[in-house]
C-alpha cells in the first residue's frame, strides 16, 4: 500500500509543466498530479507506477474562475469544493455547482479538481455529464502550443481519454448562455458521497411561447464513458415538453445506452435507473423554466 519510488517535479508555470511532461516516453511514464484523489490510490495499489510525478498544485495559471466575454473560464486546478461554493459558479453555472456538491465527501472535494476529474474519465463521475450538458470546451496546452477541444471528444472509454501524454488541461470554458438554461441534475448512489450508479444532466432552452428550442441530455454510469444522447435531446426540441415528449426522450436514452453488469448493479438495473434519472432531470429542468 505504498507507492513505488518516483521523481517529483513541482513546476510553477504551464510552460514548465509541459516541459516536464515532454521528458516521458513509453519506458518512463510521466504523470500529472492534481488533487491526487484518484491518482494516489492507484499509486498506493501500484496500479500506476510512473517514473515521474509532475505536481500541478503550484501552477497559479491553472487556478481561478472568471467570466470572460461569452464564457466562464474555470482553471483546471479548481477544487470540487470551490466549484460547489463559488459565487460565480453558483449564479452562472448552477448545474456545475450542483454536480460538484455530489462528489465524495468534503475531505475529497477540498483536494479533487475539475481537470483531474475530466482527465480521469470515470464513467460514473458527476462533472463529465455536467460539462457535456453545458457544452463545455477544454483549453489544452502541449509542446505545439494551445488548442481548444469540445469536452465530448475527450472521453474514450472507462478511465481513458484522447489526450496525448504530453498535453494537459489548462481550463474548462463554459458558454454563459448554456449556464443560464433551466437544468436538471439527478443521480443514484447507494450512500451519500459514493460514485453514481447512474447520473444524468439535462439543459433545456424554452421560447417565450413555451416551446423547447434546444436541449442537451448527458448520462454517466451506463457505459464506458459519460456521453451526450443526441436523439433524446432531439425528442424534446420543438415540443412543449409535455409528458409524451419526455417519454420519447427517455425511450431514446434506453435505445442509446449499453450498461454493464458489475459488483454494484446489474446492467438491467442500471438501464431502468438511467430512464428514471433522465426523467427526473428533465422534470427538474422543466420545473425550472
Ligand X SMILES: Cc1cc2nc3c(=O)[nH]c(=O)nc-3n(C[C@H](O)[C@H](O)[C@H](O)COP(=O)(O)OP(=O)(O)OC[C@H]3O[C@@H](n4cnc5c(N)ncnc54)[C@H](O)[C@@H]3O)c2cc1C
Which residues are CB-contacts of 112 (< 8 A; sequence separation ≥ 6)? 34, 35, 37, 38, 79, 80, 103, 104
Q: Which of residues 89-148 bind another protein (CB under 8 A)?
A: 104-108, 110-111
Which of 41, 150, 211, 238 binds another protein (CB under 8 A)? It is: 41
Residue 190: CB minimum distance to ligand X, A: 11
Residues from 119 through 148 that contact ligand X (CB under 6 A): 119-120, 122, 125-126
- Sheet containing 71-75: give its strands across: 65-68, 71-75, 168-175, 137-142, 145-150
**Nearer residue to another protein within complex by CB, 67 or 107:** 107
Strand ranges across the sheet with 198-206: 183-188, 198-206, 212-220, 227-228
**Crossing angle for the helix pair 267-287 and 243-256, nearest 10 degrees?**
150
Q: Which of 3, 23, 36, 142 contacts ligand X by CB under 6 A?
A: 36
- How many binding residues for ligand X (CB under 6 A)? 28
Shortest Å, Cβ 159 to ligand X:
8
57 contact choice in another protein, ligand X, none (CB below 5 to 8 Å, kind-dependent)? another protein
Region label for 216, one of left (φ > 0), alpha (ψ between -120 and 50) or beta (otherwise): beta
Please report whether residue 229 would count as binding ligand X according to CB under 6 A: no
- Which of 68, 145, 192, 209 is the binder for another protein (CB under 8 A)? 192
- Site membership for another protein, residue 45 (CB under 8 A): yes
49 C-beta neighbours (distance < 10 Å), count:
13
Binding pattern for the stretch 49-68 against another protein, x by CB under 8 A and - elsewhere: --x-x-x-x-----------
Interior CA angle at 57 toward 120 and 37, to 5°? 35
Q: 40-59 mask for ligand X (x: CB under 6 A)?
A: ----------------x---
Containing H/E element for 50? none
Q: Please return the burial class of 119, using the count of CB atoms within 10 Å of its CB with bins 0-12, 13-18 and 19+.
A: buried
Q: Does 5 bind another protein (CB under 8 A)?
A: yes
The partner residues of 30 in beta bridges, in order of sequence, read 52
**8 lies in the site for another protein, by CB under 8 A:** yes
Comparison of 130 and 179: residue with beta carbon closer to ligand X: 130
Cα–Cα distance measured from residue 242 to residue 286, given in angstroms and rounded to the nearest whole number: 9
Is residue 190 at the binding interface for another protein, with CB under 8 A as the rule? no
Nearer to ligand X, 193 or 244 (CB): 193
Using rule CB under 6 A, residue 81 touches ligand X: no
Work out what residue 191 binds among ligand X, another protein, none; the CB cut-off runs from 5 to 8 Å by kind. another protein
* Sheet bearing 7-9, strands edge to edge: 7-9, 52-55, 30-33
Out of 11, 74, 96, 115, the only residue in the binding site for ligand X (CB under 6 A) is 115
Q: What is d(CA 105, CA 107) in angstroms, rounded to the nearest whole number?
A: 6
Q: Which is nearer to another protein, 60 or 207 (CB)?
A: 60
Q: Are 172 and 83 in contact (CB under 8 A)?
A: no
What phi and psi, each to the nearest 5 degrees, are found at residue 192? -55, 135
Site for ligand X in 4-33 (CB under 6 A): 31-33
Kindly list the residues in this chain that would bind ligand X in the complex (CB under 6 A).
31-39, 56, 76, 103-104, 108, 112-113, 115-117, 119-120, 122, 125-126, 168-169, 194-195
Amino acid at each position: 500500500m505504498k507507492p513505488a519510488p518516483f521523481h517529483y517535479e513541482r513546476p510553477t508555470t504551464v510552460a514548465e509543466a509541459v516541459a516536464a511532461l515532454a521528458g516521458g516516453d513509453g519506458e518512463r511514464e510521466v504523470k500529472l498530479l492534481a488533487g491526487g484523489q484518484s491518482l494516489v490510490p492507484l499509486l498506493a495499489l501500484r496500479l500506476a507506477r510512473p517514473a515521474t510525478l509532475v505536481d500541478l498544485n503550484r501552477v497559479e495559471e491553472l487556478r481561478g474562475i472568471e467570466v470572460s466575454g461569452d464564457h466562464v473560464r474555470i482553471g483546471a486546478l479548481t477544487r470540487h469544493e470551490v466549484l460547489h461554493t463559488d459565487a460565480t459558479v453558483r449564479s452562472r453555472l448552477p448545474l456545475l455547482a450542483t454536480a460538484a456538491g455530489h462528489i465524495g465527501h468534503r475531505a475529497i472535494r477540498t483536494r479533487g479538481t475539475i481537470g483531474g476529474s475530466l482527465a480521469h474519465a470515470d464513467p460514473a463521475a458527476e462533472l463529465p455529464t455536467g460539462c457535456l450538458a453545458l457544452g463545455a470546451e477544454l483549453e489544452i496546452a502541449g509542446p505545439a502550443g494551445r488548442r481548444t477541444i469540445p469536452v465530448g471528444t475527450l472521453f474514450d472509454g472507462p478511465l481513458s481519454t484522447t489526450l496525448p501524454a504530453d498535453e494537459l488541461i489548462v481550463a474548462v470554458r463554459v458558454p454563459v448562455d448554456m449556464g443560464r438554461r433551466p437544468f436538471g441534475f439527478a443521480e443514484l448512489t447507494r450512500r451519500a458521497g459514493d460514485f453514481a450508479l447512474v447520473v444524468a444532466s439535462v439543459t433545456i432552452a424554452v421560447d417565450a411561447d413555451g416551446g423547447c428550442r434546444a436541449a442537451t441530455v448527458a448520462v454517466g454510469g451506463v457505459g464506458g464513458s459519460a456521453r451526450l444522447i443526441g436523439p433524446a435531446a432531439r425528442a424534446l426540441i420543438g415540443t412543449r415538453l409535455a409528458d409524451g415528449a419526455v417519454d420519447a426522450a427517455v425511450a431514446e436514452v434506453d435505445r442509446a445506452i449499453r450498461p454493464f453488469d458489475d459488483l454494484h448493479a446489474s446492467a438491467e438495473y442500471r438501464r431502468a435507473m438511467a430512464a428514471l434519472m433522465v426523467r427526473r432531470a428533465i422534470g427538474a429542468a422543466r420545473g425550472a423554466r
